[in-house]
Amino acid sequence: MADSDSDRQSLAWKLRSLVGEERVLADEPMSRHTTFEIGGPAALYVIPDDPEEIRACIEACRAADMPFFVLGAGSNLLVSDDGFDGVVIGLAHDLVRVTLDGLEMCCQAGVSLREASEMACELGLSGLEFACGIPGSVGGACYMNAGAYGGCIADVLKSVRVIRADGSFDTLGVDELDLGYRRSRIADERMVVVSATFGLHAGDPDEIRAKMDDFTARRTEKQPLELPSAGSTFKRPEGHFAGKLISDAGLKGFQIGGAAVSTKHAGFVVNMGGATAADVHGLIAHVQDEVEGRFGVRLEPEVRLLG
Ligand SMILES: Cc1cc2nc3c(=O)[nH]c(=O)nc-3n(C[C@H](O)[C@H](O)[C@H](O)COP(=O)(O)OP(=O)(O)OC[C@H]3O[C@@H](n4cnc5c(N)ncnc54)[C@H](O)[C@@H]3O)c2cc1C
């Protein structure tokens, strides 16, 4: 790993030469880029504009022996208070182009899932309704196989364009991605999604809108959307619901520092104001121990950790 200031400085220059001066930020607070609003600084934060720039940035990091992390909308992420001593490659800024080919919608990785869903609705294209309230990017959603209300990315994805771990571009069909509950081959093999193509079908815009309105109403009623969080903190354990186990363990409202188990939905850890990553880690560990002690089920975090 690059360990001197001069190694880091030369990588910063290299990245600036690749993407432009103003697109490489030093010591960028990650609290600005996560829905939890938590996280210390990334040593370097780079904003590529197209797939080739992403590839070149990754190559530069590898050549400099510097760790890198690909960031979407930061809606499933807890970054440590010490930050990340590496390069964060932020895709949700400029990789936001959408193209249509008949019933196929191709979105670059940084497109917001909500916007893709909204756009499809306006065009009378059905399939992405389930995604209307998921605050992630298309790339992050493919990586996580995001889903809600009975739908998930695997149901509607046709293919993804990726950068493989060896730096080559490839296009993989949905059947090659091994998409499961909040998991994918993309995650297992550290691929980077640069764009995704969804196969939609023609629908009545009013019916699509009604479905989305229903999902939104259900979400607003049940979830603590008024407070910063990273959505469901834990994966759904086989045969149970994480929120119910946590609630039954009497942990609703339990707080460590600024982090609390939501009183509205026990499956969410929320930032009540000024929460640190250490608060959230402490709360996650406490919830895991209490739930396991009571019900013999060890909850597994769904939230990804960085730093
Ligand atoms: C209020 C709220 C509600 C939520 N509701 C839901 C829900 O209903 N269903 C659900 O599934 N999730 C939900 N989430 C969680 C989150 O929105 C999803 O997991 C989403 O898919 C994460 O996407 P992201 O772009 O924010 O990813 P990030 O948080 O930016 O990253 C998550 C992981 O994906 C990787 N990644 C991101 N982009 C790429 C890429 N282009 N290529 C390769 N890897 C990449 C990152 O490296 C990281 O490991 C919710 C979150 C919040 C805050």
Please report whether residue 216 resides in a domain.
no
Count of positions (residues) in the chain: 307
Whether 236 is catalytic is no
Whether 161 is catalytic is no
Please report whether residue 258 resides in a domain.
yes
160: buried, middle or exposed (CB in 10 Å: 19+, 13-18, 0-12)? buried
Tell which of 207, 235, 269 closes a domain: 207
Please give the residue range of the domain that contains residue 82.
Answer: 5-90
**Buried-exposed string 24-44: b where 16+ CB fall within 10 A, e elsewhere:** bbeebbbbebbbbbbbbbbbb
Tell which of 38, 71, 90 closes a domain: 90
Give the confidence band of 4 by pLDDT, cuts at 50, 70, 90.
confident
Please report whether residue 230 resides in a domain.
yes
Which residue shows structure tokens 């950790």? Answer: 305
Please report whether residue 293 resides in a domain.
yes
Structure tokens at 292: 């396991």
Going by alpha carbons, the residue nearest to atom 34 of ligand 1 is 140
Structure tokens at 232: 């469901």
Q: Which of 182, 184, 195, 262 is catalytic?
A: 182
The domain total for the chain is: 3
Give the CATH number for residue 14: 3.30.43.10
Tell which of 69, 90, 111 closes a domain: 90
Distance (angstroms) between ligand 1 centre and the Cα of 88 equals 15
pLDDT in tens, 174-205: 999 999 988 899 999 999 999 999 999 999 99
Give the CATH number for residue 240: 3.90.78.10
Atom of ligand 1 nearest to the CA of 193: 42
Sequence-ordered alpha helix ranges (H) in the chain: 5-19, 51-63, 113-122, 138-144, 153-156, 185-188, 205-222, 242-248, 277-295
Query: Is 77 in the same domain as 154?
Result: no
Whether 182 is catalytic is yes
Residue 59 has pLDDT above 80, yes or no: yes
> What residues does ligand 1 touch, defined as CB less than 6 Å away?
35, 69-77, 91, 109, 134-137, 139-141, 143-144, 146-148, 186, 192-193, 225, 229-231, 304
pLDDT in tens, 228-257: 999 999 999 999 999 999 999 999 999 999
Separation between Cα atoms, residue 9 and residue 37, nearest integer Å: 27
202 strand-pairing partners: 125
Query: Is 133 in the same domain as 198?
Result: yes
Q: Is the pTM of this model over 0.85?
A: yes
Average pLDDT over residues 36-49: 98
**Alpha-carbon separation of residue 248 from 105, 126, 267, 289 (angstroms):** 43, 38, 11, 14
Average pLDDT over residues 22-28: 97
Average pLDDT over residues 113-120: 97
Distance (angstroms) between ligand 1 centre and the Cα of 135 equals 7
